[in-house]
Chain A
Amino acid sequence: MLRRTIETREPPAATVAGMAAPAWRVIVFVLGIVVLATIPFVLKSFFLFQITLALIYAIAILGLNLLTGFNGQFSLGHSAFYAIGAYTAAIMMDGFDISYIWTLPAAAIVCFVFGFLFGLPALRLENIYLALATFALAIAIPQVLKSSLVEHWTGGVQGISIIKPDAPFGLPLNSDQWLYVYTVLVAMVMYVCAHNLVKSRTGRALIAIRDHPIAASAMGINVSLYKSLTFGVSALYTGVAGALGALAISFVAPDSFTFQLAVALFVGLVVGGVASISGTLFGGLFVLFVPNIAEHFSKGLAGAVYGVILLLVIYLMPTGAAGLVRLIVTRLVQQGRDSGR
């Protein structure tokens, strides 16, 4: 009663509406560029400012994603790195009169070092314990910034005001528009770098460490070094976002960088989709706009409305926006395959 061997067949290439994946990617990319380019001339100043801020949050969330999403290290303290980046920029511009161009690289370096140094002792801590340690960091940073020790540089409770930069080379853009363009340029560079990192051997090592650290180490990956470096890079991204944020708001103060910011970044990460680079864009938009929408609904119950929206979003998209998109695409591809049979 032996059965015949199964005939093997090459599955047809995945298509949606008759077009293959690479064609779709080009379309989305071009559309994206068109939208990005027209926004600053179409939107009112305040709305443009909000979009800029959403993009900045997206970069911050991308930093968190590299650490938590791709490397499995749970952090509830990224508001600390955001704050350090912001204050680095503010102190450079206000205290030392350095041009805003240098603040980004400086914030990057400072935050990388801080992140790496924090990552070293954090190596010994697992999940919950790491969460608590990062939580402690998030709580501590505003308090440190307020303390009398460093008041001289940080401006204490009052914080520091800085001046929003003007467009260079006499371009016909106001400062809000220029900031938008600047942010978009920085974001593009950072997103491309992140994408390349994740797709590289290093990226695969990070993911291996996330999924099975013992096996990863048995394969010769230096787990400790990678984990600390990832902390550093993650802090770098969020710190650069912080510096951009300081420029956008033109003001830094300790109470802008509380634990609530860390929570917001975390929520943005999950809602966008853990371990999804493009998901962070949705996360940034969510983090910026949904609390405002909640307040619109009801001033007194703003928090409750936000909570309910958050629950609904999580029910409908347990793997985040990116997960939902993936699901839809898979369904469409499946339908395409089935109809082609």
Chain B
Amino acid sequence: MELFLHQVLAGLATGGIYACMALAVVMIYQAIDHLNFAQGEMAMFSTFIAWQLIQWGLPYWLAFGATIVISFAAGVAIERVVLKPLHNAPVLSHVVAFIALLAILNSGAGFIWDYTIKSFPTPFGNGPLFAEGLMSRHDGGMIAVTLLMLAFLYLFFRHTRIGLAMRAAAANPESARLAGIRVGWMTALGWGMAAAIGSVAGMLIAPVVFLEPNMMLSILLYGFAGAVVGGLTSPGGAVLGGFLVGIVENLAGTYIPVVGREMKLSIALFIIVAVLCVKPSGLFGRPIVTRV
């Protein structure tokens, strides 16, 4: 029993990482109605920028804040410059553009900062949170920040006009234009916010998994899984989904003997797919009702 609890808590700790990433994924999905495969690399690149700022002597929280602002601006720029020409292109072409972005960012980061693993500081201190070995202070801090971001996003989307405008622009761009909403800029804003959230996720994750250009790919996958399990229309569900994925992955690794370290990822994914087969729009997603 103690082992079980231990694994659950450990799962919560890693789940915090996935929840953070899942939030960023859902954020951009709400804004642009696509999954952005380059999300992880954008977060990774932002984290490198933060690292560089710290190397140049900036105190942690200043670098943190500056990185968020820079990432926001970069996100807006990417949408307006890289993606605008594809405005009328079919959906699959957008996916290829994301893949291209992924390659550029990954290779660029490796070129500028090379592939050696770097450590990234944590603002929460290095000790354990409660008793020894259950959860570290950083894990706790990460979960707290994720929940804070979630609260902010919830308030933003449900209770501000601009949040509603963004949702409208993503849901039905033509009708949104007819309501006077500048759809192009709403999409750009969505990208900026997603980039900013991604940068926070990256800066929180890096102390745990260490900073190197390939750190985000599997985390992005877990983030996607968490977001999908929770239901892509629900930021709260995404966070919950992220935690669930962390717990399931840990329990599967512990209790299913066949599963070695390599298979943990596959098992987690297959369990998610199984969830989807039972509930195709995720655990908390609202099934989209359309009239024929």
* Chain B binding surface SS class: helix
A319 shortest CB reach to chain B, Å:
7
- Does A58 make an interface contact (CB < 8 A)? no
Contact A315 B86 (CB under 8 A): yes
Query: What B residues does A274 contact at CB under 8 A?
Result: 90, 92
B286 shortest CB reach to chain A, Å:
14
Contact A147 B260 (CB under 8 A): yes
* Proximity bits, B72-102, A CB within 8 Å = 1, else 0: 0000000000100110111011011101111
Binds B, one of A91-99, A241-249, A262-270: A262-270
Interface residues in A103-144 by Cβ distance below 8 A to B read 121, 124-126, 128-129, 131-133, 135-136, 139-140, 143-144
Contact A302 B266 (CB under 8 A): no
* Proximity bits, B114-132, A CB within 8 Å = 1, else 0: 0000000000000000000
Query: What A residues does B269 contact at CB under 8 A?
Result: 135-136, 139-140
Query: What B residues does A263 contact at CB under 8 A?
Result: 99
Known A-B contacts A136-B270, A300-B111; the reply to A131 vs B35 at CB < 8 A is yes
Q: How many A residues touch B, CB cutoff 8 Å?
A: 43
Binds A, one of B53-61, B142-150, B195-203, B220-228: B220-228
- Does B247 make an interface contact (CB < 8 A)? no
Known A-B contacts A136-B266, A315-B85; the reply to A271 vs B96 at CB < 8 A is yes
Contact B260 A148 (CB under 8 A): yes
Contact B93 A314 (CB under 8 A): yes
Contact A143 B266 (CB under 8 A): yes
Interface residues in A275-305 by Cβ distance below 8 A to B read 300-305
B74 shortest CB reach to chain A, Å:
16
Q: Which of B96, B262, B276 contacts A133 (CB 8 A)?
A: B276
Query: What A residues does B260 contact at CB under 8 A?
Result: 147-148
Chain A contact residues, CB within 8 Å of chain B: 68, 121, 124-126, 128-129, 131-133, 135-136, 139-140, 143-144, 146-149, 214, 263, 266-267, 269-271, 274, 300-308, 310-311, 314-315, 318-319
